[in-house]
Amino acid sequence: MKYKSVDYLNEIQQNEFIKAAIDHVGAGVVISDPEQIDNPIIYINKGFEDLTGYEPEEVLGMNCRFLQGKDTDLNAVKTLRENLKASKPIQIELLNYKKDGTPFWNDLQIFPVYIEKMEQNYFVGVQKDITKRIDAESLVGHYTSEVKRLSTPIVPVEDDVSVLPLIGNVDEERVQQMLEFVSHHVQEVKEDYIILDLSAVHTFNENIHMGIYQLDQLLTLMGTTLLITGVKPNFALQSAPYANFGELSLKSYPTVKQALQEIR
């Protein structure tokens, strides 16, 4: 009896140690019981309280869905439920809401755990606030879009005439961006002429050739004439392996000024 008592005390001490350790992991930890109706929460650590603002008596016995809100991605929730139903581990980024209504991005990891001694399945969820990272990525994406937009500027110079100066290296992504921006611009403004100025592009490649060809085809369908300016001798020589501008039935001018004079 004494031996069992010692074992029992040791087990209590071990459980207290584990609980204290989990409270200091720096993340929210939730344990739920899938063998009960609606998979209720049976344990939360201090990290979960700090993260969400909820105290144990407010959430124990509830399903974790109370953290979801109006802008939570329903497809992500569906994926989460399917993995839980199949007892598969999952890591997912989910927009959740704190007790005071503040939204936060939750890097949620859920692990199915089987306790052999208890012959019982549990889910252990680890939650981490990654809102700052998501916001930073969104900001970078916004700046990247702005840089792309500014790297392909369309400049109106006269009634029904705009200039698109290409600058720097041109890859396939820049070509698609150019086609998208020009198409949108012509639809909005109804230009008669687009002048593609290549004076700041020093290396001709297949992407530029295909871009000019596709742009000419696109603008022809939209009733707009494409003119090329700024083609230097070394640039023309580099274009020889691909095609020449004559094959594209395009007019080329040394400068934008000369192209405008011709249009007038």
> Is 50 exceeded by the pLDDT of residue 8?
no
Counting residues of the chain whose pLDDT is more than 70, the rounded percentage is 80
Query: For all residues of the chain together, what is the average pLDDT?
Result: 83
Q: Ranked by mean pLDDT, which of 16-20, 61-65, 144-148, 209-213 comes out on top?
A: 61-65
pLDDT at site 148:
56
**Is the sign of the CA dihedral 193, 194, 200, 206 positive or negative?**
negative
Which tens digit of pLDDT belongs to each residue from 220-244?
A: 899 999 998 887 766 666 666 655 4
- C-alpha distances (whole Å) from 179 to each of 35, 175, 255 are 56, 6, 22
**Secondary structure letter of residue 152 according to DSSP:** S
**Residue 4: pLDDT band by 50, 70, 90 thresholds?**
very low
Counting residues of the chain whose pLDDT is more than 90, the rounded percentage is 42
Side chain identity at residue 69, one-letter code: G
Which tens digit of pLDDT belongs to each residue from 128-166?
A: 999 999 888 877 666 556 555 555 678 888 888 988 888
Q: What is the CATH T-level fold of the domain 152-263, as seen in this structure?
A: Transcription Regulator spoIIAA (3.30.750)
Which tens digit of pLDDT belongs to each residue from 34-48?
A: 999 999 999 999 999
pLDDT at site 3:
42
pLDDT at site 256:
87
Instruction: Provide the CATH number for the domain formed by 2-134 in this structure.
Output: 3.30.450.20
Please give the residue that has the higher pLDDT: either 1 or 95.
95
Question: Can you tell me the distance from the alpha carbon of 233 to that of 239, in angstroms, rounded to the nearest whole number?
Answer: 10
Decide if 161 contacts 193 (C-beta within 8 A).
yes
Question: Can you tell me the distance from the alpha carbon of 47 to that of 197, in angstroms, rounded to the nearest whole number?
Answer: 58
Cα angle 73, 76, 81; round to 5? 125
Residue 128 main-chain phi, psi, to 5 deg: -135, 135
Q: What is the location of CATH 3.30.450.20 in the chain?
A: 2-134
Q: In the 3-class helix/strand/coil scheme, how is 15-56 assigned residue by residue?
A: HHHHHHHHHCCCCEEEEECCCCCCCCEEEECHHHHHHHCCCH
Task: Bin 168: left if φ > 0, else alpha if -120 < ψ < 50, else beta.
Answer: left
> Is 50 exceeded by the pLDDT of residue 246?
no
3-class state of residue 122 by DSSP: strand
pLDDT at site 263:
83
> Is 50 exceeded by the pLDDT of residue 56?
yes
